[in-house]
Amino acid sequence: MSSFGLVGLEFYFPRRYVSQSELETHDRVSPGKYTTGLGLTEMAFCHDDEDICSLALTAVDRLLRRYEVPTSSVGFLEVGTETLVDKCKTVKATIVERLLAGQRDVHGTQTVGACYAGTQAILNAVGWLRNYWETRSEIFKILKMTYFKNAFTHLYSRPIRRGGVR
Say if CB 85 and CB 91 are below 8 A apart.
yes
Domain assignment present for residue 117? The answer is: yes
| CATH number of the domain to which 79 belongs | 3.40.47.10
Pairing verdict, β 137-144 and 74-81: parallel
- The DSSP symbol for 136 reads -
- The DSSP symbol for 115 reads T
Determine how many CB atoms are found less than 10 A away from the CB of residue 143.
26
Domain assignment present for residue 157? The answer is: no
Q: Domain tally for the chain? A: 1
110, β-bridge pairs: 79
CA distances to 13, 19, 109, 140 from 120, rounded to whole Å, are 22, 31, 11, 10
Domain assignment present for residue 29? The answer is: no
Say if CB 14 and CB 54 are below 8 A apart.
no
Domain that holds residue 56: 50-148
Q: Report the C-alpha gap between 64 and 20 in whole angstroms.
A: 34
3-state percent breakdown (helix, strand, coil) of the chain, nearest 5: 30, 20, 50
Q: Report the C-alpha gap between 69 and 132 in whole angstroms.
A: 17
- The model's pTM is 0.74
Q: Report the C-alpha gap between 142 and 26 in whole angstroms.
A: 30
Domain assignment present for residue 136? The answer is: yes
Domain assignment present for residue 95? The answer is: yes
Mean pLDDT by 10 residues, the chain (166 residues): 70 86 90 87 84 86 88 84 73 86 81 82 82 68 54 40 39
Say if CB 27 and CB 37 are below 8 A apart.
no
Give residue 22's pLDDT: 92
